[in-house]
Amino acid sequence: MSPAIVLSTTENKADVQSESQYQKGVKQLCDKGIKTLPNKYVLPVSDRPDTRRSGESYTKERNLKLPVIDFAELQGPNSSQVLRSLANASERYGFFQLVNHGVSSEVIAGMNDVCKRFFELSLEERVRYMSPDVSAPVRYGTSYNQSKDRVFCWRDFLKLVCQPLTDVLPHWPSSPSDLRNMAVAYSKETRHLFLMLMEAILESLGLRDPATRMAEDQEDDSILKEFTDGSQIMIANFYPPCPEPDLTLGMPPHSDYGFLTLLLQDEVEGLQIQYEGEWVTVEPIPNAFVVNIGDHLEIFSNGRYKSVLHRVLVNREKPRVTVASLHSLPFNSMIQPSPKLIDSMNPRRYMDTDFATFLEFISTCEPKNKNFLESRKLT
């Protein structure tokens, strides 16, 4: 065998070994004490965070205080005003912060803490849950879509399918020992909150009459009954300190596929949304949920409410943990524009879709921006 062939073989083995270590996630790279960002995580210049300007004034200018919806007031005499604020936030921003939501601070703190402890487990513990199957009931992974991403993102995640709970619970991690109990409590409370939020969303769209809110025979209650048995996926995201945060992202620009996502942030900034053509940072509010409109709700509202591109920045000093709870109709349900939101002035804008279509799409295409939603548009 010639020296050139020997060298080529050695290089190929090194490439395979290098790729394998990236597949195990960014936490293990940090544990090794890396000082520079591996090339696998370096984005093209056009996709990197904008660092051309800096300074305190620029930071304040680029921070965004999202509309704040006081959920408790939805139940009171100011409910009509809150519904108008909810509609405005869903149309203009695609995001809002939710306070006084009823999810206990103990459940929030417990979920945040147990997720942090999961990512502190040994690599051997965590990789037990690695799977290429995007429909697996539990999945530990890295980047955004590690089987398709050409450049990896600075993120590890734990995904838990929550429905039906009795079937999936035995598959959830048994370490830390309290993870299952904490995650069950959190999933139940966020699920209940989602159902109440969807009632408000339907009212804000004019699809539900608050005067007959308690009527059991409302035609519009059929979709609420579907949501009761709907899908829920919880994703715990871990963004460790990054040696060169200007070269990469924690998550690329994307929209969420469901109806609503309830995001629990910690105190570290990182979430950015695209607003008026600019990337702006969302300021965290302690114990609040950042709620965003998903692709399914944009389809259901026939384009009135918008799913908005968002991404995640990383930083050099602090780790960041978030928990996203994504909610939609049951996996086998068909999502379509509400017939009551279609007329001659606002024709149907989207084709029907379901969760299986989404999974097929992401398994064959590199996720980018809102390309799945774009594939559903009729015009």
User: Which pLDDT score is estimated for 19?
Assistant: 65
Residue 87 CA to residue 202 CA, distance in Å, equals: 10
pLDDT averaged over consecutive 10-residue blocks of the chain (379 residues)? Answer: 39 48 90 94 92 44 83 91 96 97 96 98 94 88 85 96 94 97 98 96 89 50 87 97 97 94 95 93 94 96 96 96 96 92 94 84 70 86
Please write the tens of the pLDDT for every residue from 144-173: 888 778 899 999 999 999 999 999 999 999
Q: Per the domain annotation, does 113 fall within a domain? A: yes
Concatenating the DSSP letter of every residue in 220-280 gives THHHHHHHHT-EEEEEEEEE---S-GGG--SEEEE--SSSEEEEE--SS--EEEEETTEEE
User: Which pLDDT score is estimated for 223?
Assistant: 85
Q: What is the largest CA-CA distance in the chain?
A: 84
Q: Per the domain annotation, does 176 fall within a domain? A: yes
Q: Tell me the chain's radius of gyration from C-alpha atoms.
A: 22
Structure tokens at 339: 């017939």
Q: Per the domain annotation, does 66 fall within a domain? A: yes
Residue 174 CA to residue 118 CA, distance in Å, equals: 10
How many structural domains compose the chain?
1
Q: Per the domain annotation, does 209 fall within a domain? A: yes
Asked if residue 77 has a cis previous peptide bond (ω within 30° of 0), the answer is no
Residue 307 CA to residue 294 CA, distance in Å, equals: 5
Q: Per the domain annotation, does 155 fall within a domain? A: yes
CA dihedral 196, 260, 325, 355 (to 10 degrees): 120
User: Which pLDDT score is estimated for 29?
Assistant: 94
Concatenating the DSSP letter of every residue in 44-109 gives -GGGS---SS-SHHHHHHHEE---EEEGGGGGSTTHHHHHHHHHHHHHHTSEEEEES-S--HHHHH
Q: Per the domain annotation, does 80 fall within a domain? A: yes
Q: Per the domain annotation, does 148 fall within a domain? A: yes
Number of Cβ within a 10 Å radius of residue 55: 8
Number of Cβ within a 10 Å radius of residue 38: 16
CA atoms within 13 A on the CB side of 291: 27
Closest CA to 226 of 46, 378, 355, 123: 355
Residue 231 belongs to what domain range? 25-376
What's the CATH code of the domain at 91?
A: 2.60.120.330
Q: Per the domain annotation, does 36 fall within a domain? A: yes
Q: In this structure, is the dihedral angle defined by the CA atoms of residues 324, 330, 332 and 333, taken in order, positive or negative?
A: negative
pTM: 0.89
User: Which pLDDT score is estimated for 58?
Assistant: 39
Closest CA to 326 of 296, 361, 305: 296
